[in-house]
Amino acid sequence: MRLHSGLRPLALALLALATQAATFNVKDFGAAGDGKTLDSPAINKAIEAAAAAGGGTVIVPAGTYLSGSIRLKSHITLQLDSGSVIEASSDGPAFDPPEPNESTKFQDFGHSHWHNSLIWGESLEDIAITGPGLLHGKGLTRGERQQGGNKTIALKLCRNVTLRDFSILNGGHFGVLATGVENLTIDNLRIDTNRDGLDIDSCRNVRISNCSVNSPNDDAIVLKTSHGLGSAKPTENVTITNCLVAGYDIGSLLDGTNKRTLTRAPDRDGPTGRIKLGTESEGDFRNITISNIVFDRSRGLALESVDGSRIEDVAVSNLTMRDVSNAPIFLRLGARMRAPEGTPVGAIRRVSISNVVVSDADPRYGSILSGIPGHEIEDVKLSHITIHYRGGLTLDDTAKQPANLVNTFFFRAQGGIPPREAYATPEREKEYPEPSMFGLLPAYGFFLRHAKGIEMDHIRLTFARDDTRPAFVLEDVTGIELDHVQAQKAAGAISMRLKDVRGLVTRDSSVAPDGRFDQLESRELK
């Protein structure tokens, strides 16, 4: 129906008034944006006014807003305009204190509290933070401190959440911590931080896309299932796609330089900056897809169940990795059991990893699939994977390493000639999971232990410098198929070392002759 020409201006005026009523500019509530005045009280007033009106958009225009805790409300969008910076104050009292939590002994301090953050929300619905502004965690702490801000964004038990288009610099303990959140969309974020980038804990229906996360000192994108909510809850129905994860110098992602001058790594494994499931892993991980990811100057992909979780139905595809600082692929089923007493050991099963290209990988640890005695990783398919290692190591290096005193004893007892026993790799089933936990591996390519139902199809392993360790070491493996597996071999080296392997099938592979080997207690294949 057409409006009478005389009514059109009135209708347009009413529409403009309605639109204006749905927006709340923080400067109208006293925010200075001068980088000196503590503006969080004014920002919170704007949010409260929007909530009282039934919802709306709180606008943060260009300027630098020194801030303590900002408390989100339901049906609110916090809009960070171009040129706007919300900067975390170093004044501890400006932040809300960490709320009580009876379950703190089962996870880190940062996973146990949410209110001590730059921006936080609890039990909310229909909320959003949109860009293209910047959240600068300048005054946030990186560790466990009772006073002061600990995280950039912390959300607990919320639903229908969107985070889009903004950037985070130096995000504190976590850039984003989402715990018990349902229907979460994270899109086009740029995070350049000194600890974890995105932590998704016990969440359901999560979409992470088009994000760039630089975190040299910790994980970039990590899914977790802690005890932070007081019980084990799953993380499920998650997609992570079209992202970059990296370990550049802090700040050099946002300024576009991607610097690699950092000489002091956070630990012996080098820059972190990876995608990981775990380490907090009491609840289950189900229905996870990870695709189209670039790893650069970082650790590789890690799936870790060490506190009782079942990691099931995970599909990973289309990864490229360069300058990899430890295992390109790390699957670990362990028994750290940082969970209530009586929690059983978990499981890892039905995992597919395909179309992976890796170059310049650290030679010390290879790729690892390792369960523990009596608890096997199962039903894993690895296909169309190419890994180029730096190489340059030997079996003698494995025997000499101080990480295993038994190795050193055997090495010296044999007058410098290590026997086979010297290559024994420790189990360390209760330790924190990291590829370096096993010391220097006796395989340069893949180390598989306590596993069953493994398929490896179209795998190619090469090295830049000769590595005299075998490409594969298999221990306590039941049912493994190698189809079109090719591995470079140094002069005098063997291709595979097998111990207690049952049901090995090989086809068109350079590492073993075609055939089926039903029982191999101890064997070396040239």
Mean pLDDT of the chain: 92
- pLDDT at residue 298 is higher than 70: yes
Residue 17's pLDDT is 46
Whether the predicted pLDDT of 226 surpasses 90: yes
- Would you list the DSSP string of 6-75? TTHHHHHHHHHHHHHHTEEEGGGGT---EEEEE-HHHHHHHHHHHHHTT-EEEEE-SEEEEES-EE--TT
Cα distance between residue 521 and residue 335, in whole Å? 26
pTM, two decimal places: 0.93
Q: Which is more confident, 8 or 502?
A: 502
Which is nearest to 303 in space by CA: 270, 332, 339?
332
User: pLDDT-derived band of residue 136, with 50, 70 and 90 as boundaries?
Assistant: very high
Residue 322 zone, left/alpha/beta (φ > 0; ψ -120 to 50; rest): beta
Point out the least confidently predicted range of 247-251, 339-343, 370-374, 522-526. 522-526
Confidence band, pLDDT 50/70/90 cuts, at residue 5: low
pLDDT at 421: 52
178-182, 266-270, 441-445, 486-490: the lowest-pLDDT one: 266-270
Q: Which pLDDT band, with edges at 50, 70 and 90, does 399 fall under? A: confident
Domain-by-domain residue ranges, the chain? 51-252, 289-471
Q: What pLDDT, on the 0 to 100 scale, is given for residue 418?
A: 47
Q: What is the pLDDT of residues 377-393, one digit of tens each?
A: 999 999 999 999 999 99
Instruction: Specify the pLDDT at position 88.
Output: 98
Predicted local distance difference test score (pLDDT) of residue 406: 41
Q: Where are the beta strands (DSSP E) in 299-438?
A: 301-305, 310-324, 329-333, 347-361, 367-370, 377-391
pLDDT value of residue 261: 87
Provide the pLDDT confidence category of residue 264 given band limits of 50, 70 and 90: low
Q: Which amino acid is at 170?
A: N
Query: How confident is the model at residue 400, as a pLDDT?
Result: 72
- Predicted confidence band of residue 141 (pLDDT cuts 50, 70, 90): confident
- The CATH number for 51-252, chosen from 3.40.50.620, 2.160.10.10, 2.160.20.10, 3.30.465.10, is 2.160.20.10
3-state secondary structure of 79: strand
347-361, 417-431, 509-523, range with greatest mean pLDDT: 347-361
Q: Is the predicted pLDDT of residue 213 greater than 80, yes or no?
A: yes
Mean pLDDT of 84-105: 93
Is the model's pLDDT at 354 over the cut of 60?
yes
407 — pLDDT class (breaks 50, 70, 90): very low
Residue 52 has pLDDT above 70, yes or no: yes
**Mean local confidence (pLDDT), 423-448:** 93
Phi, psi for 424 (deg, rounded to 5)? -60, 135
pLDDT at 486: 98
Closest to 88 measured CA to CA, from 209, 26, 172: 172
The rounded radius of gyration (Å) of the Cα atoms in the chain is: 26
Average pLDDT over residues 404-427: 52
For residues 31-45, give the mean pLDDT: 98
**Which of 21 and 353 is assigned the larger pLDDT?**
353
Which residue in the block uniquely carries the two structure tokens 């080296």? 493
- In this prediction, residue 25 carries a pLDDT of 98
pLDDT at 411: 39
Query: Is 395 strand, coil or helix?
Result: helix
pLDDT at 267 over 80: no
Residue 406: burial class (beta carbons within 10 Å; 0-12, 13-18, 19+) = exposed
pLDDT in tens, 437-486: 999 999 999 999 999 999 999 999 999 999 999 999 999 999 999 999 99
Which pLDDT belongs to residue 274? Answer: 98
The tokens 């704007």 sit on which residue? 46
148-162, 250-264, 495-509: which has the minimum mean pLDDT? 250-264
